[in-house]
Amino acid sequence: MELSNRFISIKNSPILFSKPFKLNTLKLLFSLPNSTESPSSQLSLSRSLQFETLKALEWSSLCERLSPFTSTSMSHSVTRNASIPIGKSLQESRELLNQTAAALAVMQIEPLDFSGIDDISGIVNSAVSGNLLTVSELCAVRRTLRAARTLFERLKDGGDCSERYIHLLEILEGCNFLMELEQKIGFCIDCNLSILLDRASEELEIIRSERKKNMENLDSLLKGISAQIFQAGGVDRPLITKRRSRLCVGVRASHKYLIPDGVILDVSSSGVTYFMEPADAVELNNFEVMLSNSERAEEVAILSLLTSEIAQSVGDVKYLLDRILELDLAFARAAYAQQINGVHPILTSEDCEGEPSIGVNCALSIDIEGIQHPLLLGSSQRSLSEVLRSNSENSAELDGGDGVIAAERLSKSASAFPVPINIKVESGTRVVVISGPNTGGKTASMKTLGIACIMSKAGLFLPAKHTPRIPWFDLVLADIGDHQSLEQNLSTFSGHISRICKIMEVASKASLVLIDEICSGTDPSEGVALSSSILQYFRDHVNLAVVTTHYADLSLLKDKDSRFLNAAMEFSLETLQPTYQILWGSTGDSNALSIAKSLGFDSNMIESAQKWVEKLMPEKQHQRKGLLFRSLMEEKNRLEAQATKATFLHSDVMKLYNEIRHEAEDLDGRVIALMKKETQQVQQEVKATKSQIEIVVRDFENLLRKASPDQFNSLIRKSESAIASIVEAQCPSDSLLVNQVDVSSHTPQFGEQVHVKGLGDKVATVVEAPGNDDTILVQYGKIRVRVKKSDIRPIQGNKRSAATNLVPGLKRQGQQIHSEFNQNEEVSYGPKVQTSKNTVDLRGMRVEEAALHLDMALSAREPRSVIFVVHGMGTGALKQRALEILGKHPRVANYEPESAMNFGCTVAYIN
């Protein structure tokens, strides 16, 4: 049946139904707002509906979440009673949000101290009623006034940050801190000891002075009489006490004669001891009683005066308490925002009117991304903390770290609950119809929107992402839950319709209406018709109405009026579980048969139900719509997966780009640092060489003084040889390995040193000019042998260093000794054992950086040693560059490429 035959058109369309309406339903439908009702009854109805809405949205539970963050008893009481202020206008709500933002700024530097603030409203009311305030109550008033003034001065002295605190300063700006009253109380009362001071009045000071003198005389008199009684055996120990507000002494009944003319004030319970007032003490006691009464009267007069001043300042005190309450609630909201990672929402009036913001999408009237229900969020946090605490307490009973694994699993699940949702409502939309399966999250999503609107009105930040935009609604009216009443003889449907009628009566053009399962619980045909009429009424009379329904026909309203918007709760057909995400602009299927089948429902009954579905839906429109929906969902998932993959790829590319850019920027700095390090090392080596030469010279001079003339030549040769060895050790070799291409074209000369392959690549000396048969005679030690020219690798002559030029004679002698050594012994490079000192690791370096590092390491090695060059496998660029340097470096006599036992490492021999 077409939708036009199922609903009532309020304007001109006729009323058409598949069956007649019931009489009660018609009465409820047409009980439209009564304009003749008095404003007071209208206001009372509005307050009643708002109270029920706050109850349905669990506003009191949310307010209780603020209680732990309050600092004063006043704020604690307000949050526990869910009486926190909610902005009555757009400006008030924006001001509350600005106060929360300012409180967050203060907390990041140093939180305010509310410890001295007491709720003195009861004390002030008592003073107004004429009751005399006590010393402790007056001290509470003084302490509160001083703490309030300190708070204001702390905010005022914020320095450069004072502009950020302007919204908090405005709270206390017009307050009277009653400094004069505070000073008077401090002048009259010592609040640390809770006593009235003598300086409170001149009369009090005189009375207390006289009383002190009289007490001294009375005490002296009674001590003397008590001592005499003790000496006479009339008492076990001297006893002075007070009876009937008069000081007296104790005496045994048998010795009362010791106090002649004394007055018996009291007798002990055993009758053994009398408490007597000596005759000489009567006048002093009378004077003490008179002075005590005078002192009390003067104290009452002082307290009365201070009480009167507080009563006269009742308006200022209560106004100050209200402002302190407002300030404390701002900090409580800020602390709660920190706990839930809340963000500052933007409240708008119409279209894009509101706070300026970059990137605002004016096409959306409501734009909230990734919001979580605050009550569900708090419950998940508490549950996780309780479970983790329980796991930590029982960790001794867990085997193999299962407790840690369980904690990680719980942490991951808690981070995904509650599921964040996006709420996107286009500008111009007046009615949103949300459809979808049961337990799919329709009601929770609608509650999340309602609680978010009220939170933003009350100055609370939202647990969402980015910057949410929400219109300011004057009323948030909700019909959520079962409103049946046995007392009022209302069924579920009757209670539901009755409440909708009340909402229609008070709702305005700036109101938000939330209705769960609209017109459910009655005949589906009548329910669709009635729902359509109600939604068309809301379309013309409220800012926004959001309803949930199982009536698929309501989604067709969007085709006739652009002010309607459809939305559906996403449902995974693979897992048969809801995803709790809203698909804006889509219509959802109930998936009742799929869910029933997954729960093990009888298959025959499922098939029978499926046949009925096909009969009730001609041409299988519903099935085609479901198939289309599933294909669209698959395409949506595929595009989301591609977008996620592209995002990760872009992130990896940017990460690599930034890494390369940072490496390039830092390369010059590394070169400078390496050159500086090499310079320092060279300077240290030069200094060490000079020190060694100075030691040789000093030893030579010492030996020369003691030696005979015939030993002079021997000492000189010995010293010259030592210095030549030192210089030779510090001079880099001029020999440079030639590559394989140049070996064949090189012709060794007589006396030249060469590497001989047949002798294990040892260094030998050419002792005969090469002949025409491509053989050369070389000498290794005392052995002469003729080898092929192809088995010889040349060694070029060493370059002379600056240090060698300074001592040419010693250098030549050192070369002569070195030549003789080569002729008599084979060259030894030490043990071929890899250690941290003879290893240079080039892995992880760039090619140019590795080349510089390797060159410095080769130049710094001691003669006749080995060095292990670790270049790794990699792409081969680093290895190739390292082998090129080893082949051309003047100090490298030979190198062994990596082998099967030593991948990624080349061993070089240093001359």
Give per-residue pLDDT as tens, 734-764: 444 444 445 556 778 777 888 887 666 677 8
Q: What CA–CA distances, in Å, run from 842 to 476, 681, 784, 851?
A: 69, 20, 42, 9
83 or 861, greater pLDDT = 83
Q: What is the mean pLDDT of residues 557-575?
A: 79
At residue 439, the pLDDT reads 64
Residue 566, pLDDT above cutoff 80: yes
Least confident of 82-91, 356-365, 544-553, 720-729: 356-365
At residue 163, the pLDDT reads 66
Helix axes 374-393, 442-457, angle to 10 degrees: 100
Distance, C-alpha 63 to centroid of its chain: 22
* Rounded-to-integer distance, Cα 195 and Cα 189, Å: 6
Phi and psi based region of residue 637 (left: phi greater than 0; alpha: psi -120 to 50; beta: remaining) = alpha
Look up residue 756 and give its amino acid: V
Least confident of 14-28, 259-273, 584-598, 694-708: 14-28
Helix axes 279-312, 135-156, angle to 10 degrees: 40
Residue 869, strand partner residues: 840, 906
158 or 719, greater pLDDT = 719
* Rounded-to-integer distance, Cα 285 and Cα 218, Å: 7
* Rounded-to-integer distance, Cα 392 and Cα 390, Å: 5
803 or 598, greater pLDDT = 598
To which H or E segment does residue 726 belong? helix 712-730
526 or 813, greater pLDDT = 526
Least confident of 68-72, 464-468, 584-588, 773-777: 584-588
Residue 487, pLDDT above cutoff 60: no
Residue 476, strand partner residues: 512
Look up residue 785 and give its amino acid: V
To which H or E segment does residue 405 belong? helix 402-415
Q: What CA–CA distances, in Å, run from 375 to 104, 282, 372, 702?
A: 22, 75, 9, 94
Least confident of 355-364, 429-438, 686-695, 779-788: 355-364
Q: What is the mean pLDDT of residues 5-28?
A: 37
At residue 472, the pLDDT reads 94
- φ/ψ of residue 6, rounded to 5: -120, -10
**DSSP 8-class letter at 91:** H
The pLDDT-based confidence of 128 (bands split at 50, 70, 90) is: very high
Look up residue 45 and give its amino acid: L
At residue 485, the pLDDT reads 45
Give me the residue label for tokens 């030192």.
726
Q: How confident is the model over 38-61, as pLDDT tens digits?
A: 667 778 888 888 888 899 899 999
The SS3 assignment for 736 reads coil
At residue 411, the pLDDT reads 46
Q: How confident is the model over 623-649, as pLDDT tens digits?
A: 556 666 777 777 888 888 888 888 888
* Rounded-to-integer distance, Cα 468 and Cα 366, Å: 8
The mean predicted confidence, pLDDT, of the chain is 78
Q: What is the mean pLDDT of residues 388-399?
A: 48
To which H or E segment does residue 630 belong? helix 621-706
Q: How confident is the model over 159-191, as pLDDT tens digits?
A: 555 567 788 989 998 899 999 999 999 999 999
Residue 267, strand partner residues: 274
Q: How confident is the model over 533-564, as pLDDT tens digits?
A: 889 999 999 999 999 888 877 888 888 888 89
Question: Could you count the other beta carbons within 10 Å of the beta carbon of residue 254?
Answer: 11
Percent of the chain with pLDDT over 90: 35
The pLDDT-based confidence of 827 (bands split at 50, 70, 90) is: low
Highest mean pLDDT (candidates 196-200, 363-367, 867-871, 897-901): 196-200
Residue 684, pLDDT above cutoff 90: no
* Residue 79, token pair as written in the block: 């949050």
C-beta of residue 365 within 8 angstroms of C-beta of residue 486: no
Strands of 577-584's sheet, edge to edge?
475-479, 511-515, 544-549, 431-435, 564-572, 577-584
877 or 664, greater pLDDT = 877
Q: What ranges in 731-786 are assigned the alpha helix state H?
A: 740-743
C-beta of residue 56 within 8 angstroms of C-beta of residue 480: yes
Percent of the chain with pLDDT over 70: 75
Residue 34, pLDDT above cutoff 50: no
Residue 568, strand partner residues: 435, 583
First and final C-alpha spacing in the chain: 102
Give me the residue label for tokens 């700024």.
105
Q: What is the mean pLDDT of residues 272-301?
A: 94
Query: In 3D, which of 884, 890, 878, 883 has the Cα closest to residue 848?
Result: 878
C-beta of residue 528 within 8 angstroms of C-beta of residue 551: yes
861 or 90, greater pLDDT = 90
At residue 441, the pLDDT reads 77
C-beta of residue 689 within 8 angstroms of C-beta of residue 726: yes
Question: Could you count the other beta carbons within 10 Å of the beta carbon of residue 604?
Answer: 8
* Residue 854, token pair as written in the block: 């390797």
At residue 615, the pLDDT reads 57
**DSSP 8-class letter at 873:** S
Q: What is the mean pLDDT of residues 96-109?
A: 91
The pLDDT-based confidence of 594 (bands split at 50, 70, 90) is: low
* Rounded-to-integer distance, Cα 567 and Cα 116, Å: 53
Residue 902, pLDDT above cutoff 90: no
* Residue 278, token pair as written in the block: 């000596």
Look up residue 769 and give its amino acid: A
839-841 and 865-870 strand pairing: parallel
Highest mean pLDDT (candidates 250-264, 416-430, 438-452, 514-528): 250-264
At residue 307, the pLDDT reads 95
Highest mean pLDDT (candidates 148-162, 681-695, 823-837): 681-695
Look up residue 742 and give its amino acid: D
Q: What CA–CA distances, in Å, run from 141 to 117, 134, 317?
A: 9, 11, 9
The pLDDT-based confidence of 310 (bands split at 50, 70, 90) is: very high
- The burial of 38, by beta-carbon neighbours within 10 Å (0-12 exposed, 13-18 middle, 19 or more buried), is given as exposed
Q: How confident is the model over 718-741, as pLDDT tens digits?
A: 777 787 777 767 665 444 444 444
* Rounded-to-integer distance, Cα 867 and Cα 856, Å: 12
